[in-house]
Structure formats: C-alpha cells, structure tokens
Chain A
C-alpha cells in the first residue's frame, strides 16, 4: 500500500455491525460447548459467526479514509473495491448518529449530507465518539476554508446554491462578517430544550392516541357489558402496540436540545439511539408549525423545517430529521421560527381566510384555510383537527402553480401552490376566488423573482440583525 496518512474506522466496527449474531451465537455456542455437545444449530451459528467475523475484519481492514485535495476519500470493499470521493465543499451537513449498540461501545456513525445527492451518500461507521466529533469539526472547518478561497460569490451561487447565504443568513452574533474566517468550533448557545414531562404529555395528547384510546375504551366497554371477558383481552395487543409507538416517540425525542453553533443549528435527541444533527440555516427552504387539537389548549406546537436534500420524511409524525422542536410553547416555537427564517416573522403575515363559497368545496376545512404574505414570506394555514401553518421565503419558492378542478370551476375557485423542495413545507392557498388567485399568482411570480435577485446579490444585507 502507499504511504498516505489514511485512517481506519474503529476496530470494534465488526462487533457492533454483527452484534445480534454475536450475541445469539455466543450464548448458544457457549452453552453447548460447556455442556459438551454441539447441536447443528450451534454449529451453523458458530460458522456464521466465524465467517461473518472474518468478513467483518477484512472489511474493516480494507476500509480507509483520508482527506486529499479538498476531497474526503473513502476506500471500501473486500471483494470488489470501491473508492468514493466526497467533495468537501459540497458537504451540506454532518450528523453524528449513535445507534444503541454503538453507544454501548462508545462509537458513533458520521453521516455526511452532500449537495445534489438525494440520499445521504457518505457514511463512516463506526468511529469512537470523540474522533467522530473531531472529524466533523475538521471537515466543516475545511469546507468553510475551501468555500472561502474558491470561486467568487456569484459563481458559487450558480454551482453551489446554498453556500453563499451561509454567510449572510445565520444571524449569529459572532458570525456577521464570516465570509473569510472559518468560524472556530466555538461555544454553543442552547436555544430550546424539551423536558421529559412536556414530551410525554405532548405524545399522549396527540390526535392518534386519543382516537385509539377512545376506540379501545369503546371496545372494552362493549366486551365488559356483554360479559365476554375473553373478548376484552383482544384490546390488549392494541394497547400494547400503542404503547410501543408512544415509547418510540418519547425515546426518539428524549433530551431534545436545539442549540446554535457556528456551523448551524444543532439538534440532539435520543434515549437509546443518540442523534446529533447540524442544520445549516441557509439550507432551510421553509417551515411548518403543527398544532394538534389538544395541544392548542395548552398553547403548544411543533416546528418542522424543509431542508434541501433531506427529502420528505416527516409525514409519519415520528422523530424525523426535519423536526427542529417536537413540542414547545408558542413563544419558543415563534422564537425558533424567527431564528430559522433569519429574522422573518411568520406571525406578521395577515392571513386572509378562504371565501364563503369555499364551503361547497371543503365543507369543514374551509373555515380553517387561510393564506397571506409578508415582504419576505408566504404563509398558509389549514387543518381542522391538526392545524398546520406553512411558511416559505419568497426567495425559496421553486415554482408557482394554479390548479383548478371541475367542481372548483363551477364554484369559481382555484388553488394556488408555491412549490418547495421535497419536505414538510407545502405552502398553498386553497379554494380562493379564481380572479384573485390569478392576480396573486402574477404577483408571486414577480415578488419571488425580485427576492431571488436580492438573494443572488452577494453583498446585500438581506438579514436584519436578529432581535
């Protein structure tokens, strides 16, 4: 091999990867060996263990990574060799994930998010936690250096997209003229934290839980009333299933902390599987504030963001990488929302409700549909049980659409959609008066064009000082 200073993953990697096999084989084989007779199952498991072990060790041995000419190179493969090059200036974010087993060994996985890639293409699993953190900081610092020295801002705009605003849009006190100097891995400031009580209560109060509990109680009542005690036991798996789902949510969001670091927003969460995720504020395409029915009485809501390249993963209410705050008081959510949108205020938008005629198109929902805009944002709200407020900056709108179905045409209504990259954000003004929709469409086409231009001008002070 060559003498380049490559690094290897943690030698414990094969153990973590095959932990289940190791444990199963270990216990079975050991028991049989001590008893002195090896059954066929034990032999099979033993062979699997040995084979897997050899492969795992070989795979670990052949996996090397190093930084070379602004690229992170990862060589892998036992039988067929692969060499992956990840351009450091293309790195969008780096997450540190600790699955439960890895955590037992103090290891972590480094996941790199690359611009243009749909999936997270680069992953280094597993590294000792300290080394993972150090490598993450190193890569992010290196990225900022590369970005600062290559390409003038305009060119970067064309190639890179999110990069240029990384300087302007993060309203960190110390990162105002950040362009040239890579921010040191400085202190982080905690913006919000979710305590266990709030998290558990909020999980219990979700709409699905209520529905399930009502259903379960109903069933139970029926069985008890009819004296069919055996039937009542049928409710047990339902409740057990519910318990598992709830527990997953709580454990996934356990110890949820959002803090501000020079590299972006950092989200940390997890009871068993620890996740630390860095979100570059400049990559945020829009946000959603979700308020389920029961939360509204407590003044709680959830904040999700759309991040370019992350895709749509937040539909299933579970712990998702798009969640910036799983539950919080309105004020806390508003504060984070303002932070995420670089100082823009969602609450400033005057939302215009859908016209009365819309009740024929959406008999219940029309009361809750509303949309409006500010100088910088387009905002829409809908939902009866679960209210969602979507907001996206004009400058981030990808395309503007008007749609109209046959029934809407009869009623003289139309929908206006402001398309965002895949993610939870979906700003749309549904069931508006047709003429007004077209007017708004034309205005939005113009406004978003101007907003894009402002964004494109490198030196523009597009961000007001954060309050």
Chain B
C-alpha cells in the first residue's frame, strides 16, 4: 500500500471486476482481428515471413495490454465523504483527485453498447475546471445510478459560487 494514495477513511470502494473483463475482451477481439488480417495479407501477398512476425508482434502487444488492463482496472477506487468525493486510479501513472460536491456543475452517466453488455457505466463529475478529470468507469449500473443521485443531491445542497 502506497501512503500517497491511501484512502481517506477505511477503504477504497473498488469498481466492478467487469471493467477489466470488458476491456480485456475488447482487446482480445482487436488482437484477433489484427492477427487474422495480418496472416491473410501474408498468405495473399506471399510474404508470410514478414506478416507472420507482424502477427506475433500483435500477440506480444496484446499480452502486454492484458497485464496493463488488469492492473489499471484494479487500481480504480473511490470514497464518498461528507463534502467531497475522492477518486484514485492508475497503476503506472497514478492520480488521486478530490472533488468537492459544491464544485460540481453536473454529473453524467454514460454507458456504451459494450459497457451495457457488461452491465457497467461511467460516472463523470464535471466541475468548472476541465482538468479535474473526475471520472469513475466500470460501476455496476445500479451503483452508478445511486452515485449520480447522491452526488446531484449533495451538489445542490452544497453548491458554491465559482
């Protein structure tokens, strides 16, 4: 446990393990497509040696991505406090952000088709600053809705001027 990114209270609330699964699936599909395309091109053009090594490169990159995704997905955590929300994420490049509820302009939930397939959603808190970057991906849909409602409620109650 790194002191710098220690939770404010007891524990970080983790995001759904579906996040890692979803991203890994997407990665696997992309790598599979890239490998198939490379090999096909190799067969058609008769340059199987070159394109074979290209396919191998995709596989190596895919494997690296697999590991990175796992570490990143596990790194996400958030903590709701009385007046602000803490979010930490990142395995290699780490970030910890505290967003006061009173500073929130609005909250939105997005859930793309793939995310819906995995039953997760992303909650995004917008402040007046573009660099706040307060985003929690991979929340179970019900938890995302609960969080949004709670944040909106607290945001209205504690709203502060710019």
Interface residues of A (CB under 8 A from B): 157-158, 160-165, 283, 285, 308, 395-396, 398-406, 409, 414, 417, 419-422, 426, 434-435, 437-438, 441-442, 445, 448-449, 452, 455-456
- In the bound complex, CA of A363 to CA of B6 (Å): 29
A355 to B: closest C-beta gap in Å: 15
Q: Inside 8 A of A285's CB, which chain B residues have their CB?
A: 162
Query: Is there contact, CB below 8 Å, between B162 and A158?
Result: no
| Residues on A with beta carbons closer than 8 Å to the beta carbon of B159 | 157-158
Minimum distance in angstroms from A447 CB to a CB of chain B: 12
Contact B129 A161 (CB under 8 A): no
Q: Does B77 contact A (CB under 8 A)?
A: no
Contact assessment for A421 and B93 in the assembled complex, using a CB-CB cutoff below 8 Å: no
Task: With both chains docked as a complex, state the minimum distance between the C-beta of B100 and any C-beta of chain A, in angstroms.
Answer: 6
Contact in complex: A400, B162 (CB < 8 Å): no
What's the least CB distance linking B22 to chain A, in Å?
Answer: 25
CA distance A455 to B160 in the complex (A): 8
On whether the beta carbons of A158 and B156 are closer than 8 Å, the reply is yes
A162 x B103 contact (CB < 8 A): no
**CB within 8 Å for A398 and B129 given contacts A437-B4, A438-B4:** yes
Are A452 and B96 in touch, CB under 8 angstroms?
no
- In contact, A404 and B94 (Cβ under 8 angstroms): yes
- Chain B contacts of A452 at CB under 8 A? 100, 102-103, 160
Q: Is the CB of A399 within 8 A of B96?
A: no
List, in ascending order, chain A residues with CB within 8 A of B130's CB: 421-422
B149 beta carbon closer than 8 Å to chain A: no
**When the two chains form their complex, are residues B132 and A398 in contact, meaning their CB atoms are under 8 A apart?**
yes
Complex contacts, B128 vs chain A, CB 8 Å: 308, 398, 421
Q: Give the CA-CA distance A231 to B155 in the complex, in Å.
A: 65
A399 touches B127 (CB 8 A): yes
Contact of B93 with A164 in the complex, beta carbons under 8 Å = no
Contacts of A448 in B (CB 8 A): 100
B108 at the interface (CB under 8 A from A): no
Q: Would you call B98 an interface residue if the criterion is a C-beta within 8 Å of the partner chain's C-beta atoms? A: yes
- B92 at interface (Cβ–Cβ under 8 A)? yes
Contact between chains at B161 and A399 (CB < 8 Å) = no
How many residues from B make CB contacts under 8 Å with A? 31
B39 cross-chain contacts in A, Cβ below 8 A: none
Instruction: Name 18 A/B residue pairs within 8 A (Cβ), A-sorted.
Output: A161-B162, A398-B132, A401-B96, A402-B94, A402-B95, A403-B96, A404-B4, A404-B94, A405-B92, A414-B4, A419-B127, A421-B128, A435-B4, A441-B96, A441-B98, A442-B8, A448-B100, A456-B161
A296 to chain B, nearest CB (A): 28
Contact mask for chain B residues 62-80; partner A; CB cutoff 8 A; 1 contact, 0 none:
0000000000000000000
Bound: A49/B6 CA distance, A: 69
Chain B's closest residue to A414 (CB) is B4
Chain B residues within an 8 Å CB radius of A420: 129
B162 pairs with A421, CB closer than 8 A: yes
The CA of A438 and the CA of B98, in the complex, are separated in Å by: 12
Residue A162 contacts which of B5, B83, B97, B162 (CB distance < 8 angstroms)? B162
Chain A residues with CB under 8 Å of B131's CB are 401, 417, 419, 426
Chain B positions 3-18 with a Cβ under 8 Å from a chain A Cβ: 3-6, 8
Q: Chain A residue with minimal CB distance to B162?
A: A161
Tell me whether A403 and B3 are in contact (CB under 8 A): no
- Residues on A with beta carbons closer than 8 Å to the beta carbon of B156: 158
- List A contacts of B134 (CB < 8 A): 399
Within residues 87 to 118 of chain B, which ones have a CB less than 8 A from any CB in chain A? 92-100, 102-103
CA–CA, A422 to B97, complex, Å? 17
* A444, B98: Cα distance in complex, Å: 10
> Which residues of B have CB within 8 Å of A398?
99, 103, 127-129, 132
Distance (whole angstroms) from the CB of A450 to the closest CB of chain B: 10
The chain A residue sitting closest to B84, CB to CB, is: A445
| Closest Cβ neighbor of A415 among chain B residues | B95
Contacts of B95 in A (CB 8 A): 401-404
> For the complex, what is the distance from the CA of A435 to the CA of B133, rounded to whole Å?
23
Chain B residues whose C-beta falls within 8 Å of the C-beta of A434 in the assembled complex: 3-4
Considering the chains assembled together, what is the distance between the CA atoms of A449 and B102 in angstroms? 9
A421–B4 CB distance below 8 A: no
- Taking the closest CB of chain A, its distance from the CB of B99, in whole angstroms, is 5
Residues of B near A162 (CB, < 8 A) are 161-162
Q: Please report the C-alpha to C-alpha distance between residue A35 and residue B159 in the assembled complex, in whole angstroms.
A: 72
Q: Are A399 and B93 in contact (CB under 8 A)?
A: no
Q: Please state if A402 and B129 are interface contacts (CB–CB under 8 Å).
A: no
Closest beta carbon of chain A to B94's beta carbon, Å: 5
